[in-house]
Structures are given as C-alpha cells and as structure tokens.
Structure 1
Amino acid sequence: MKLTTQDLNTLCATAIEAAKKAGELINSYTDKTLTIKNKKGADSLAAQVVTEVDVKAQDVILEVLAPTLTKYDLALLSEESVDDKSRFEKDYFWCIDPMDGTLAFTEKTPGYAVSIALVSKNGKSQIGVVFDPVTGILYNAVKGEGAFKNNQPWQPNLSFENNACFTLHMDRTFLNHPKFEFIKTEIQQFASDAGLSEFEIQKRAGGVLNAIWVLNNPGCYFKLPKPTPGGGSLWDFAATACIINEAKAYGKSFDGSPLDLNREDSCFMNHKGILYASNNQVATKVREIVNSFI
C-alpha cells in the first residue's frame, strides 16, 4: 500500500499522540521504585538495562497505533517485542523504542526519550517522532515536510557562525575506546580552528537524544563500525534519521552511505555504524580523524 503525504501526516499525528501518552506513563514512575532486569546479548550496560516501565510504555504506544496496522497495512518492530520479520513483507513498518536511555531513567537523570518512526521496506525513514518526557519537548518530521519542534516549524542554526560551543555527544562506553583521547583532542582542535571558543562532552543520554541534541549547536554523535553485534539498533536511529535530515543536518552511516534502517540479517547497526553531525563539514572531519588510525 503506497502512502500519500496526507496519510503520512495523519500517521505522524497518531504517533505523536502515542509518544505523549507513553511520556506521561514514564513520568508517573520517576519517583517509584523500579524492577530492573538485564537483557541477554547486549553489548553495553546501557543496552542491557530494561525496566517494567519500558514494557508498559510499549503497551501504551501499541494501543494507540494498533488500528493503523490494519487500516494502512503496516508491519511492526518494537524493542520490547520479538521481531516477527513482517517488516520485510509490508511496504512500511512502525519502528518503536518505547523508552530509549533506560539507564539514564534508572539513574534519575535526563537523557531518555520515546522514539517512534515509520520506515519503508527499503529502509528509509518516512516519519520521526521523539518526545522528551523530562523537558516536555516534542520533535517530529515527515519526509519532505521539514522538521518541527513543539509543533512549530524548526530550522536550527547549524553553522559555526553565531555559535560559541561545539558538543561531542557520545555513549559512556566510548570513553574506553583506545583512541578516545586522540579523537577528542582532534575534534576539539577542529572546533577551535573553526572559531568555536567552547568545547564540551555530553555522555549522559541514550542514542535518541544524543542524536537530537546534535541540532542544539554545532556538534556530532557517532558509533563506529565493528564486527561484533551492537552499535545501537534500528529503533535507536529510525525516528531521529528523519528529523535530522529534515532539519538539513547530517545523518548517515559512518561511511557516508544512507542509513540501513531495515537490515535483513540483524536489528543492530554495527555493520556500518552511524554518524550524525550538525553539518557536512563536521561529518567530513570526523571521518577524516577516524580514518587516520584505521
């Protein structure tokens, strides 16, 4: 079933409703004692942690989205459910992370968010919705329709002009990378040469807000390719890919190819990595730095 622009906008509104309801549910648990479990097969603590809130948030989202599955003949992929592979059969599928950044949530620090995307069978993100329960900020986009922040058209200033700070957004595990200090120093020098007087590292968020916050000021977030499973999952980047690209920033695989958001052999992104940057200049420099030691 081929979706029209009107269909996509209708589905985006439904996804926004679902994300906000999940955000309300998440906020209702911020002061409660949580039941925390560990997933098997995850490559980091952040990826291992799951709580009862993740599952309940997913239930809330699916209750809202369920009617669309039949009406628009959509498949479904969600982090807290088994992949039934229907995403390879239908023309589009919902790609859901009911609460990305669960580790931050359990630590009661900002950095977690609800992420809902609609992805075509060929792996292109058509809708992206991200809701930050801590700030109440909603980010959303429909392919070809521009980015929105709190329901207002949003075109962030992503140039080096009129900005003082460069932010390196990263997962905590990247601190253990053998070339971390080298990469940090080289990026910091690049930012200084570009006229940015301040440099900061942000490492408290999950992958969804790491990506979205690249739009706050010049900066980058990346996960390097690696042979072992991990590197984030489809649901970590499907929604932000649409928003990032509609905001005219940079969101691709680390090698510069389009993001592979319907990978056939895995839900992980380790095969190509990801690179989100405020502009092409930043993305080019990051690749240059990493390629210097590969």
Structure 2
Amino acid sequence: MKRELEKAIQAAREAGSIILAKFGELSEQDIHPKEFKDFVTGADKESEKRIAEILTAAFPEDSLLCEEGSSANGTSGRKWIVDPLDGTLNFIHSFPVFCVSIALSDSNNELLVAVVYQPVLDELFTAEKGKGTKLNGKPVRISDRQDTRQLLIATGIPFKEYHYLESYVSMLKDVIHDSAGIRRAGSAAIDLAYTACGRFDAFWEYKLYPWDYAAGVLLVREAGGIVTGFDGNPDVFAHHSIIAGNPETHAMIAAKAQKHF
C-alpha cells in the first residue's frame, strides 16, 4: 500500500492548499445550499476535483465515492472514499476546524489506507491496514483512560434530521454523567482522528455517511481502538452510526447507545 498511501497524502495536501487559499475569503456567491441546513462551497468542489484527478490518474481501475458527486466505476473492486472538506459549515464561518478525508477500501469493504489532513494546523493523520496510525510521521495510540471523571468525549449533534433528537438528548445526558466533558468539533473525521491519537477518549455520532467516517475508522482501529455501529456491528458500512474508543470507553458508550436507541 505504499504507493496508495503516498498518492492519498499528495491528494490530501494539494486539496488542503486549495482550501486554505480560500479560508476566510468566501463571499456569499461562493456558498450554495445543497440540502436542508447543508451547504457546499467552491472550495469543496475544487478540492474534490483535484483529489479525483490524482487518484484516477494513479489508479484508473479503482472506483471513487466522493461527497460532492465525483465518481468512477472501476473494475478492481477497490474504492476511494473521499470527503474533500469535512467541516464545511466551520469553513464557511471561518472556524478553523475542518479537514480532507481520504480512504481506500477493498472489494470486501475492508479499509486499507486512510489519510485525514487538517490544513490549518498542518496535521497529517495516516494509517495502513496492519501498520498502525501516525500523526505527521510519528506513531500514535488511543488513550488508555478509564476513569469517567477524566474522560473527554466527542460527539456530533443532530442538525438537519430531528426524528431521533429525543433519543440523542437522552443519551447525551447519560454520557455527561460519565465524563469530564463533551466536545462537538463539527467534523467527524477530525473527531475520529483525535480519538485515534488520544486527544478524545471516545466518539459517537448517529447518522453519518461513508465519506464522513471511512478514513477515521481505520485511524482508530490501527491505533488500537474499537469502532462499531450503535448495534455493535464492526461492519461500519452497514449502518449510519459510529462508536469509537478504547475497550472501556467503547463499551460504556455502546451500552448507552443500546439503552437509548
């Protein structure tokens, strides 16, 4: 996977440069509604175009699944899963928490390569299946904290679908009692990357899409963590929900998810 990782890193860094060039410079004409309370900018589209160009040129037989619609139907069985700008609303508001997320899966939906690049901080999270997770080239591990009085836990708050809001709020109240603090960064890929390197002790969110979490899932697993759906299924592509953490924090969050959902 060396070449695959190198190309994913190249694509992420070039996309990050495109995004940074527009950061803080958006006009109203650059922002377009996509769905209810969901937006896309020219930076999303330009960065996705560049990522697609790099990956399809290097691996023409692979497929592409990208948030903003770029696609390719290859014959290899492998699929690149891309979010060119995770945290678009943050980006629109000049809140400096967003990233580029790129993952590669095989024909069995096994994740092989992951890159999450946070351009504002120049932080590059990478993982290869079976080879661990790195931050700017240095190995990282999930946290080993277990004491609920010390836990910092990340989540994603419902913002455009409300049919599960009451269940989420009930679960949030429950988690608050068993943690030192809750954070909502606005980027699932960053939440998972931060869980992988021990900044967060766990992460959970309901209603995500593959481009939101694919790279982050491999980062956490290769850093020694556990990632499943709310139902405990390790096949994260079978559902839209994610729980990630070390063995203790994952089990704690999973118990609460099963109670409230």
Counterpart contact for 2:154–2:200, Cα < 8 Å: no
Matches within 5 A, 1:202-217: 202-215=183-196, 216-217=198-199
Closer/same/farther in 2, CA of residues 83 and 19 from structure 1, 3 Å limit: closer
Q: Deviations over 1:230-249 (max 9, x none)?
A: x1211111111111100001
Q: Determine which of 51, 54, 62 is the counterpart of 1:74.
A: 62
- Aligned position for 1:252: 228
Q: Determine which of 38, 41, 44 is the counterpart of 2:33.
A: 38
Q: SS where residue 121 of structure 2 aligns?
A: coil
Closer/same/farther in 2, CA of residues 21 and 164 from structure 1, 3 Å limit: farther
Closer/same/farther in 2, CA of residues 190 and 143 from structure 1, 3 Å limit: same
Counterpart contact for 2:15–2:84, Cα < 8 Å: yes
Counterpart contact for 1:158–1:218, Cα < 8 Å: no
Matches within 5 A, 1:175-186: 177-186=165-174
Letter in 1 for 2:81: C
Aligned residues with identical type, % of pairs: 23
Q: SS where residue 211 of structure 1 aligns?
A: helix
Q: SS where residue 292 of structure 1 aligns?
A: helix
- The question of 1:15 aligning with 2:8 is answered yes
TM-superposed deviation, 1:179: 4.0
Counterpart contact for 1:160–1:218, Cα < 8 Å: no
Closer/same/farther in 2, CA of residues 104 and 147 from structure 1, 3 Å limit: same
Q: Deviations over 1:64-93 (max 9, x none)?
A: 2222223xx211111112556x37x53211
Closer/same/farther in 2, CA of residues 146 and 51 from structure 1, 3 Å limit: same
TM-superposed deviation, 1:220: 2.3
For 1:23 and 1:138, the matched residues in 2 are separated by 11
Name structure 2 gaps, 5 residues minimum.
none
Q: Deviations over 1:242-266 (max 9, x none)?
A: 11100001212221212343x6xxx
- The question of 1:285 aligning with 2:252 is answered yes
TM-superposed deviation, 1:218: 4.8
Letter in 2 for 1:187: V
For 2:255 and 2:41, the matched residues in 1 are separated by 39
Letter in 2 for 1:117: A
Moved more, 175-184 or 21-30: 175-184
- Aligned position for 1:222: 204
- Aligned position for 1:133: 119
For 1:136 and 1:93, the matched residues in 2 are separated by 26
For 2:136 and 2:229, the matched residues in 1 are separated by 28
For 1:21 and 1:284, the matched residues in 2 are separated by 38
- The question of 1:100 aligning with 2:82 is answered no
Q: Deviations over 1:15-46 (max 9, x none)?
A: 00110111111110012124111224xxx62x
Q: Determine which of 214, 228, 249 is the counterpart of 1:238.
A: 214
Q: Deviations over 1:129-185 (max 9, x none)?
A: 000012110000000011111012222433337x97422312232797224454234
For 1:160 and 1:289, the matched residues in 2 are separated by 16
**How many residue pairs align between the two structures?**
255
Counterpart contact for 1:259–1:274, Cα < 8 Å: no
CA-based RMSD of the aligned residues comes to 2.4
For 2:225 and 2:10, the matched residues in 1 are separated by 26
- Aligned position for 1:109: 95
TM-superposed deviation, 1:107: 1.0
- Aligned position for 2:138: 152
For 2:259 and 2:103, the matched residues in 1 are separated by 35
Q: Determine which of 8, 30, 41 is the counterpart of 1:51.
A: 41
